[in-house]
Amino acid sequence: MTLPDVNKQWTTAQDGLDKLQFTEGKVPEPKDGEVLVKVLAVSLNYRDTEGEPTTQDTEPLVPCSDMCGIVVDSKSPKLKTGTRVMSIFNQGHLTGQITEADMATGLGLPLPGVLTEYRCFPAEALVTVPDYMKDEEAACLPIASVTAWMCINGMRPLGQPADGAKKKETVLLQGTGGVSVAGLQIAHAAGLKAIITSSSDEKLERAKKDLGADFGINYQTHWEWQEPVLEETKGRGVDIIFETGGARTLRKSFECVSFGGLINCVGYLSGKEDEDAPGAKQLNINVLALRRNVTLRGILNGPKDRFEEMVRFYEQHKIRPVVSRVFKMDEAGDAFTFLYSGAHFGKVVVKVADK
Ligand SMILES: NC(=O)c1ccc[n+]([C@@H]2O[C@H](COP(=O)([O-])OP(=O)(O)OC[C@H]3O[C@@H](n4cnc5c(N)ncnc54)[C@H](OP(=O)(O)O)[C@@H]3O)[C@@H](O)[C@H]2O)c1
């Protein structure tokens, strides 16, 4: 295959979404053990929009972590040219508990990311795409789906995911962003009961009609959404919560989690800091956790072996990740703004190239 002279890519100096640059670099050459990947599609994650303007001089970095691409040159016996692959977010996290060293291998910060036409990867830091999945769909898996998979299955032994469990568990998804929608798809396919919240009745209808959500609550019109959750579960509460809201939702989650339930601390879409002024009466998280004997678990994506376990499940159930909108490569700046606006349902994707 003839490679182009230039490698078009987006870069950011972490100084705000409006300052992304569409630039040109060199097409890199793979070293031993690496493969050169032609990037086909990239999905965006909330973290990619977070680059808070900094006053420090920061070297421009290619953003984003989640891509589907095709191997065009291989210096590894593990991956052949022509194989479609997905990136894993933390390139060094191949199995078991994540470590600080693994977290230093995150794509799109601190490592250069994937919003580029060509990139080299160590062969072991890639996962093969199942044949039935389109490029744009596969690009959605690395962060959103793997995180959702870990929320539902991360406490179970590898190889024994929730669909084999005797008890029909209930899952609560907050909002209809990338992680929640992937969680809904996995929960539904695994036969779990799924309750979802959203600020939009239209999105709730779609979650029920298209993706099999059992119950939906509009958190704008029912701000005390923990009450309908408890009613819907006949007072028992929810077994597994995707806590993507954070500061303004965590206390509600504690109110509607089941005894012995699992709150997966995933994100902070409603804020990172408690709103209450100092001195206000507020139960400490520690107390909230122990009073219902809840497992409060921090989630940091998942390892490659769990990613592969998930891909087998997706393949078995032919799950197609939900792509809200696809942008062209030269429109990636608009893709970030669209994601940040929250207008999406599922994932936002940048189409980088055709095969
Ligand atoms: N720990 C990890 O490994 C990990 C992995 C992935 C993501 N995250 C974090 O998890 C969070 C979600 O990520 P994502 O990629 O799914 O984001 P996303 O796609 O940008 O999700 C945005 C959606 O979340 C919903 N939302 C916004 N504010 C909310 C609130 N106050 N309460 C409930 N829902 C709210 C909205 O849904 P509606 O429009 O339906 O209201 C919004 O459209 C982010 O904070 C992200 O940084 C963490």
Q: Best of 244, 263, 325 to mutate for ligand 1, by most ligand atoms within 8 A of CB?
A: 244
- Are 325 and 41 in contact by the 8 Å Cβ rule? The answer is no
Question: What is the pLDDT, as a whole number, of residue 345?
Answer: 98
Residue 286: pLDDT band (50, 70, 90) is: low
In the predicted model, is pLDDT for residue 45 greater than 60? yes
- Which atom, in ligand 1's list, is nearest to the CA of 45? 15
Distance (Å) from CA 178 to ligand 1 centroid: 7
What pLDDT digit, counting tens, does each position of 133-191 carry? 999 999 999 999 999 999 999 999 999 999 877 788 999 999 999 999 999 999 999 99
State which amino acid sits at residue 66: D
What pLDDT digit, counting tens, does each position of 11-33 carry? 998 888 888 999 999 999 999 99
- Which atom, in ligand 1's list, is nearest to the CA of 199? 41
Question: What is the pLDDT, as a whole number, of residue 218?
Answer: 98
- Closest CA to ligand 1's atom 18: 177
Residue 296, strand partner residues: 263
- Closest CA to ligand 1's atom 43: 342
Question: What is the pLDDT, as a whole number, of residue 248?
Answer: 87
From residue 310, give the alpha-carbon distance in Å to each of 4, 27, 86, 163, 196: 35, 32, 13, 12, 21
Task: Please give the average per-residue pLDDT across 78-94, as a whole number.
Answer: 98
Distance (Å) from CA 272 to ligand 1 centroid: 12
In the predicted model, is pLDDT for residue 73 greater than 60? yes
* Pocket of ligand 1 from Cβ distances under 6 Å: 45-47, 143-144, 147, 174-180, 197-200, 203, 219, 244-245, 248-249, 266-270, 299-301, 339, 342
In this chain, the answer to whether the domains covering 7-140+322-351 and 146-298 adopt an identical fold is no
Question: What is the pLDDT, as a whole number, of residue 107?
Answer: 98
Nearest Cα to Cα of residue 146 among 301, 347, 308: 301
- Closest CA to ligand 1's atom 20: 46
Residue 150: CB atoms within 10 A of its CB come to 21
From residue 261, give the alpha-carbon distance in Å to each of 62, 245, 341, 349: 39, 18, 32, 34
Name the most confidently modeled range: 6-15, 129-138, 258-267, 294-303.
129-138
Question: What is the pLDDT, as a whole number, of residue 278?
Answer: 66
Integer Cα distance of 40 and 354 in angstroms: 6
- Closest CA to ligand 1's atom 25: 175
Q: Best of 220, 264, 269 to mutate for ligand 1, by most ligand atoms within 8 A of CB?
A: 269
- Are 65 and 18 in contact by the 8 Å Cβ rule? The answer is no
Residue 296: pLDDT band (50, 70, 90) is: confident
Burial class (CB in 10 A: 0-12, 13-18, 19+), 285: middle
In the predicted model, is pLDDT for residue 52 greater than 80? no
- Closest CA to ligand 1's atom 2: 300
Q: Domain 7-140+322-351 has what CATH class?
A: alpha beta
Residue 58: pLDDT band (50, 70, 90) is: confident
Domain boundaries defined on the chain: 7-140+322-351, 146-298
How much of the chain, in percent, has pLDDT values that exceed 90? 80
- Are 133 and 123 in contact by the 8 Å Cβ rule? The answer is no
Phi first, then psi: give them for residue 270, nearest 5 degrees: -95, 5
In the predicted model, is pLDDT for residue 53 greater than 60? no
What pLDDT digit, counting tens, does each position of 264-282 carry? 999 888 877 767 656 666 6
- CATH 3.40.50.720 assigned to 146-298: yes
Nearest Cα to Cα of residue 264 among 354, 186, 351: 186
In the predicted model, is pLDDT for residue 307 greater than 90? yes
- Which atom, in ligand 1's list, is nearest to the CA of 298? 1
- Which atom, in ligand 1's list, is nearest to the CA of 179? 16
Question: What is the pLDDT, as a whole number, of residue 351?
Answer: 98
- Closest CA to ligand 1's atom 19: 177
Which residues 6+ apart lie within 8 Å of 234 measured at CB? none
Distance (Å) from CA 202 to ligand 1 centroid: 17
- Closest CA to ligand 1's atom 23: 177
Which residues 6+ apart lie within 8 Å of 28 measured at CB? 7, 36, 118, 119, 120
